[in-house]
Amino acid sequence: MTILELFLIAVGLSMDAFAVSVCKGLAMQKLNMKKALTAGIWFGGFQALMPALGYFLGSAFTAMIQSVDHWVAFILLSFIGINMIREAVSEGESCDSKTAGDSTDPRTMFLLAVATSIDALAVGVTFAFLKVNILQAVLFIGLVTFCFSVGGVVIGNRFGSRFKSKAEIAGGIILIAIGLKILITSLFFHA
């Protein structure tokens, strides 16, 4: 997996956290950088943790499904991508009451961080099949998500929620495209 592909996966995965961060920023009367950094740490940390967990779970099954691993990666990434697009289209531009508050208390942030990083667990499983350098991948995903989350709070505070669903749709398209690239490369370019 190239650094560009890893970057695109990181961007795709960070879009849910970005959308929630936009809602957090929207709820703030005045931009609070401490809360923006807190959101970045929670979301970036969990986006790094979940693919690592998925990788170790996937590693246990790699030998059993090695002949179809490209299909597994394609199906998982496409499912996640389609789900992100579907949720973005059905939710419209609104921020719900669970995400719209500006609270960054540990309980709230834990629940939001887990909810926005479940997709990363499945991506971690695909990393095991693709023999990705997991340390590099999780650090990269965590850092990209941290940056997008902090940026999301700032954007939400300054510009409102008009970027929320567009970001989720873009993230979904990116994940589907990478899944398709993995499938095509494995079927047609590897003997």
* Full residue range of the structural domain in which residue 91 is found: 3-186
Instruction: Please report whether residue 28 resides in a domain.
Output: yes
* pLDDT at 1 (0 to 100): 79
pLDDT at 191 over 60: no
Query: In the 3-class helix/strand/coil scheme, how is the chain assigned residue by residue?
Result: CCHHHHHHHHHHHHHHHHHHHHHHHHHCCCCCHHHHHHHHHHHHHHHHHHHHHHHHHHHHHHHHHHHHHHHHHHHHHHHHHHHHHHHHHHHCCCCCHHHHCCCCCHHHHHHHHHHHHHHHHHHHHHHHHHCCCHHHHHHHHHHHHHHHHHHHHHHHHHHCCCCHHHHHHHHHHHHHHHHHHHHHHHHHCCC
- Is residue 103 a part of any domain in this protein? yes
Q: Check residue 24 and give its pLDDT.
A: 87
- Give pLDDT, residue 61: 77
Q: What is the pTM of this model?
A: 0.77
Residue 105: CB partners within 8 Å, gap ≥ 6? none
Residue 191 lies inside a defined structural domain of this protein? no
The percent of residues above 90 in pLDDT, for the chain, comes to 33
Q: What is the pLDDT of residues 77-102, one digit of tens each?
A: 788 778 878 877 886 556 765 555 66
Q: Tens digit of pLDDT for each residue in 13-57?
A: 998 899 889 888 888 888 999 999 999 999 999 999 999 999 998
Count of domains forming the chain? 1
Mean pLDDT of 98-127: 82
70 neighbors 178 (Cβ within 8 angstroms):
no
Is residue 33 a part of any domain in this protein? Answer: yes
- Using CA atoms, how far apart are residues 100 and 186, in angstroms rounded to an integer? 42
